[in-house]
Homo-oligomer: A and B are copies of this chain.
């Protein structure tokens, strides 16, 4: 049977099921050097999350008729996979686009509320025996304009909850499905600047690519209004649970430092793991370590979805999420 390399881990139940289905499953994380030395020729398929970088050089080591024929991304973003090179090598690339949606939606809402209500700072002060009640006056989300950059599955989920919180939903998405935006009662903007000019709160839900790299920069932060749609002086708030690199972290740090940006909540960073960043010295920043899909439920669903993809591929059916 097919030999499958699980490079960045997968839910235990899914690994057990794959073994029961007679796949040969090897759980091992190779270094970039090992990958470059051609280990991918020992396997029929590889399952990665985001830690394993399958760039052009690594994929160019795959020999015709020998190595991996299938790359499964246990998650959504495929910026760690050179899809062009994979296609050249006749390697099918699939992700699991549906499985982590709800987990990322919930984390995004959590960051939005933590941002505006100082939950993280409040806790940090309590642990120092400081009762910072007076210093931690926040603002409500209700009545404010939430700008969603991208309006795919996750943004739509965020829209549903944010609407229940009383926010007005705005979005910009060059690939927008207008019907879906209408269903969500979402105000559609023709360009990303217009979104920033109209929203005190911005949440990122697009892919990282050359068009979105540093999309949030000093200039766009300054475009955002400081006064809410309801007239409240809420300031500017940005959340990113999508991909690092979309926000220019230096510009964001400067804006937090000089008060132009009231808060920044991040789950993703330009360089991960984040270390020795100016961000973590700032009180108006709070962050989580890329845990958007890190829930029991999402990982179980990702495992199930990946088994279905592998079964289809190795039984010569078309997997449902081929990206090339």
Chain A residues at the B interface, C-beta cutoff of 8 Å: 102-103, 105-107, 109-111, 113-114, 116-120, 122-127, 129, 131-133, 136-143, 160-161, 163-166, 230, 232-234, 272-276, 280, 286-291, 294-300
Identify A288's interface contact among B136, B164, B165, B294, CB under 8 A: B136
Identify A122's interface contact among B126, B131, B288, B297, CB under 8 A: B288
Report the Cα distance A232→B299, complex, angstroms. Answer: 11
Extra contacts, 14 of them, besides A106-B117, A107-B117, A123-B288 (Cβ < 8 A), are: A106-B116, A110-B119, A113-B113, A114-B114, A120-B123, A122-B288, A122-B289, A131-B272, A136-B289, A136-B291, A140-B295, A161-B165, A164-B164, A234-B296
Closest to A125 in B: B289
Q: Which 6 A-B pairs have the closest CB atoms?
A: A110-B113, A131-B273, A122-B288, A164-B164, A133-B289, A140-B297
Q: Are A106 and B296 in contact (CB under 8 A)?
A: no
Identify A124's interface contact among B124, B160, B234, B297, CB under 8 A: B124
Q: Are A165 and B114 in contact (CB under 8 A)?
A: no
Closest to A160 in B: B164
Chain B residue numbers with a CB within 8 Å of A102 are: 140, 142, 166
Chain B residue numbers with a CB within 8 Å of A117 are: 106-107, 110, 288, 291, 295
22 A-B residue pairs with Cβ-Cβ distance under 8 Å, sorted by A, are: A105-B165, A106-B116, A106-B141, A109-B165, A110-B117, A118-B291, A120-B120, A122-B288, A122-B291, A123-B287, A126-B274, A131-B273, A131-B275, A133-B290, A133-B291, A137-B294, A137-B295, A138-B295, A160-B164, A161-B164, A232-B296, A232-B300
Chain B residue numbers with a CB within 8 Å of A103 are: 138, 140
Chain B residue numbers with a CB within 8 Å of A119 are: 107, 110-111, 114, 119-120, 286, 288
Chain B residue numbers with a CB within 8 Å of A124 are: 120, 123-124
Would you give the shortest CB distance from A112 to chain B, in whole angstroms? 8
Would you give the shortest CB distance from A186 to chain B, in whole angstroms? 15
Q: Are B137 and A289 in contact (CB under 8 A)?
A: no
Would you give the shortest CB distance from A298 to chain B, in whole angstroms? 7
Q: Are A287 and B126 in contact (CB under 8 A)?
A: yes
Q: Are A291 and B138 in contact (CB under 8 A)?
A: yes
Q: Are B110 and A114 in contact (CB under 8 A)?
A: yes
Q: Are A294 and B164 in contact (CB under 8 A)?
A: no
